[in-house]
A and B are shown apart, each in its own frame.
Chain A
Amino acid sequence: MLPKIIMTPEDIRRTLARMAHEIIERNKSIENLVLVGMRTRGVPLARRLAATIASFEQAEIPVGALDFSLYRDDLARLDLQPIVKSTDIPVNIDGRTIILVDDVLYTGRSTRAAMDALIDLGRPEQIQLAVLIDRGHRELPLRADYVGKNIPSSRHEDIQVKLTETDGLDEVAIIAQSSLKEGQQ
């Protein structure tokens, strides 16, 4: 089965613009914001959101990158150890409002790990969550504050987000897992 494209580059651009507006609307003092992207694809999304907010509000918002591999709850169960990359957040997060940014919200376990990783770095005033895609199937009591698109999906499907910075093009596709496996062979 061929991947079904559910977001085009133009869709992604408009969605991020709307999310940027929502972030501004909800946070009165945007000087206090720090956008933190969850590696890998959360990082370019955080940069784009920050640039969009900057173009609306003439304010520079610091952007950081968070690697949460060392906080995962499934290290012992994975066949392949995730490759650990550095966390790089340019400002002290104490007292700041952090917006965690990720591409897909699924079980919520990555978000849990990312929040633990953040809290080891300091004591933010607030943590909010922004995701491009919410595909459901939560295993933890979490929800996103800003959602680009809700995609009700089956567990047998895979949501593939591609971004120019990491994959050479912007696209969100839904793939049946059997065809994903074929593609990987």
Chain B
Amino acid sequence: MRQVQQKDTLTVKPEAPPLLWRHHHILDLDDFTLEEIELVLKTSDAMKEVLSRAIKKVPALRGKTIITLFYEPSTRTRTSFELAAKNLSADVVNLSAGTSSIVKGECLIDTLSTLEALGADIVIMRHPMSGAPYIAAKYLKASMVNAGDGWHAHPTQALLDLYTIREHKGSLKELKVTIIGDIKHSRVARSNIWGLTTMGAKVTLCCPFTLLPAGLNHRQDQFPKVTIEASIEHALDGADVVMALRLQRERQPSGLLPSIREYVRLYQLTESRLAKAKPDVIVLHPGPVNEDIEIASSVARGPRSVINEQAANGVAVRMALLYLLAGSRQL
């Protein structure tokens, strides 16, 4: 009986029904399903095609106002969001903490209410405090996009990393992805771990134990399962993808490392270490790169590096996200 029914629905609706996009805000990837990530990646393919045209502009977001609000410095995230919004014909206003009323002591919620009163449809925010976009989202009717909050999450970077990996490997399923470096302070690593594991990749983390975030060993579904490896040679063995992270020197005056020199000697991604990985390995880095600290400049600029592709894909992925958000409704 059930089989007959299934066959019936197949003849009536052979195309998959359109996927429901549930997100009004993009805060982290921990609440994204595999299907939702796939939808973002497929939409990014279409956006990449738009970027390859002579006229890289489509009218999809005409009349929408997008505001970027950055409480921390940024080159690529902010520029690529701005380009993405402009390619979709939205109007973009950029605000930096240093040149706004924030200097006069205006609090986050008041700033956001003002932006909303001015007509923002989407606010893209980077904030040094983990969780700030979650609080903001509670008070905001507009969509909130987290462009990095403290050590916590950077979902759009993770999605562009997933997109870049998929472009090279076809699928992420069963890939060995090794993340090396300052994981404790890395919002990029955290969002990537959610995204990569949802897509079926196997994640290995490698860093000095002082740079490992607390809580990785409390498994109770609080955090996806990852492998932790102290030796970089073991971590790289057979890797399909290597992601090097910036050593966030501004965040560690507290003696987590005996010295930068020791870190370089033990954990730098060098050509000879990379030889342990698969021959077709790709090397990612979210940038900005500390050359010859976490990654040898010969690797960062070498043939296995896809760092510049990451930046280029960032625009396509962010266009896809803005497009999907613009159609969402406040639930």
Contacts and interface: CB of A to CB of B under 8 A. Distances in A.
B264 interface: no
Interface stretch (B17-25, B68-76, B147-155, B287-295): B17-25
Nearest to B46: A84
Contacts of A166: 14-15
Interface in B263-321: 320
Contacts, number: 72
Contacts of B327: 75-76, 78, 80-81
Contacts of A85: 42, 45-46
B7 to A, nearest CB: 11
Interface stretch (B54-62, B163-171, B172-180): B54-62
Given A70-B60, A81-B327, A168 B43 contact: no
A134 interface: no
B288 to A, nearest CB: 31
B136 to A, nearest CB: 23
A83 B326 contact: no
A125 to B, nearest CB: 18
A81 B49 contact: no
Given A75-B326, A78-B327, A121-B53, A84 B20 contact: no
A141 interface: no
Interface string A122-150: 10000000000000000000000000000
Nearest to B323: A84
Interface string A61-74: 00000010111100
A125 B90 CA distance: 30
A10 interface: no
Contacts of A40: 15
A183 interface: yes
Contact of A83 (B18, B48, B50, B53): B18
A120 B57 contact: yes
A29 interface: no
B228 interface: no
A168 B320 CA distance: 31
A5 to B, nearest CB: 14
A83 B327 CA distance: 11
Contacts of A25: none
Interface in A74-109: 75-76, 78, 80-88
Contacts of A86: 45-46, 48-49
Interface in B35-53: 39, 42-43, 45-50, 53
Would you call the interface of chain A mostly helix, strand, loop, or mixed?
loop
Nearest to A78: B327
Contacts of A184: 12-13
Given A81-B21, A84-B46, A86-B49, A71 B58 contact: yes
Q: Which of A67, A86, A87 has the most CB of B within 10 A?
A: A86
Contact of A71 (B20, B46, B60, B326): B60
Contact of A80 (B20, B45, B88, B323): B20
A120 B15 contact: no
B53 A120 contact: yes
Contacts of B326: 75-76
Contact of B42 (A69, A83, A116, A169): A83
A82 B18 contact: yes
Nearest to A169: B11
Q: Point out which of B20, B21, B43 has the most chain A C-beta atoms below 10 A from its C-beta.
A: B43
A183 B12 contact: yes
Contacts of B57: 120
Nearest to A113: B59
B100 to A, nearest CB: 29
Contacts of A72: 60
B83 interface: no
Nearest to A86: B49
B59 A70 contact: yes
Contacts of B50: 70
A88 B324 contact: no
Given A78-B327, A81-B328, A122-B54, 20 more contacts: A40-B15, A67-B46, A69-B60, A70-B88, A71-B58, A71-B59, A75-B326, A80-B327, A81-B327, A83-B18, A83-B42, A84-B320, A85-B46, A86-B46, A87-B49, A120-B55, A121-B54, A166-B14, A167-B14, A184-B13
Q: Which 9 A-B pairs have the closest CB atoms?
A: A81-B327, A70-B58, A84-B46, A70-B60, A86-B49, A86-B46, A80-B18, A167-B14, A120-B55
Interface of A: 40, 67, 69-72, 75-76, 78, 80-88, 116-117, 120-122, 166-169, 183-184
